Copies of this chain bind each other. A is one copy, B any other.
Amino acid sequence: MKSCGLIVEYNPFHFGHQYHLKQSKEASGADCMIAVMSGNFLQRGEPAIIDKWHRTQIALSQGVDIVLELPYVFAVQNSDLFAKGAVFTLHEIGIDTICFGSEQGDITPFMKAYDHLNSQQEYYKESLHHFLNLGYSFPEASRHAYKAIGLSEDSIDLTQPNNILGFSYTKTILDYNLPIAPMTIQRTKSGYHDETITHKIASATSIRKSILKQQEMTQEAEGALPPSSIDKLREYGHKANGWHYWDRYFPLLHYKLTTLSPEEIRTFHGVEEGLEFRLKHTIKEATTFEEWMNLLKTKRYTWTRLQRTITHILTNTKKEELRPLHELERVPYVRLLGMSETGRKYIKEQKKKMNVPILTNMQSGEHEFVTIEERSVDAYFSCLPMVQRKSLRKREIGPPVMPHM
């Protein structure tokens, strides 16, 4: 069976995702579509609006054959580590192609950018440090460094979030010499950061914003979502007494940061250069998450970086726990969140060739990443009332989603 890998968050699954899925299947000619999906916390340092199980159900209903979990340790990271975890996971399950969305829909400029960057690596690093030392945030500094090494006109714009991710996927494949063909299809017209819904293809950000603002499903959101996505969003909101967003976690974060010492806060992944004092000081002044973020952010710390750090604080994730990621040569396991009948056949075929175990529930794994994963699940549900917290938490130890089996 020919397989194609997608790297997704589906937060929530919308028509843009549907388009990407369909185009990728066509372009790759794959029989089996495999998505590696972030669990309950996402790359930009946010809780997913609904949990991984409901997002898996939607993905399967839309034609994804296998949903694998991107472990928390990779999911809430900068693009390089995120890509490493995602590509490695897809590689272990033996995919032939990875297909990602990009502005141009052509893989050549990604390859060119890779070659150019490789030949200019030393100068790029130097420039990057230079701009970081001037107090720029990482994205800003790297934008300037790219300019400095002169990425050509027919190369990609590496300041665009989607291009950065696509480039990181390509880079991981080429750096590790993996037998995977990188592919890209053109994204439909909607900026990643769009905050208003103007047409059927809307960004996930604008859809979440619309729903969360009204605290109910809106017409605008419904117009951009396939029916199963609407159903599952409703269903989850009902079960969990609402959706997940930072404001619901703010009281917990306030409790945690006011009662921990600066020395303890310093142990969390992402807390550097005295940020522990700033975190403690600013949270005392704020009453909402947004108020806090506005007090917290500086030129140096982007909103995304701060949110990632806050996610690690919420999930109690320490620097020392994530240190081994950089040296990792393969993911320690592949966790199956759900599969279709096609997916089941594919896995049966692949299983014998695989070098790492497939986990079908959390109890079957004893890796340190599993411990961190479980903790992140507890943290995710911690904003819910006790009864909902307990009942939704139980799903985590259940079997993968298998519709119609």
Contacts and interface: CB of A to CB of B under 8 A. Distances in A.
A134 interface: no
A287 B387 contact: yes
Contacts of A390: 287
Nearest to A259: B316
Interface string A361-405: 000000000010001001100100111011000000000000000
A255 interface: yes
Contacts of A251: 382, 385-386, 389
A385 B316 CA distance: 23
Nearest to A391: B287
A259, A379, A390: which has the most chain B beta carbons within 10 Å?
A: A259
Contact of A382 (B258, B382, B386, B389): B258
B389 A254 contact: yes
Interface residues of A, number: 26
Contact of A378 (B258, B288, B314, B316): B258
Interface string A249-261: 0111011101111
Nearest to A252: B255
27 contacts: A250-B386, A251-B382, A251-B385, A251-B386, A252-B252, A254-B382, A254-B386, A254-B389, A255-B378, A255-B379, A255-B382, A258-B375, A258-B378, A258-B382, A259-B315, A259-B375, A259-B378, A259-B379, A259-B382, A260-B316, A261-B316, A261-B371, A264-B316, A287-B386, A287-B387, A287-B390, A288-B386
Interface of A: 250-252, 254-256, 258-261, 264, 287-288, 314-316, 371, 375, 378-379, 382, 385-387, 389-390
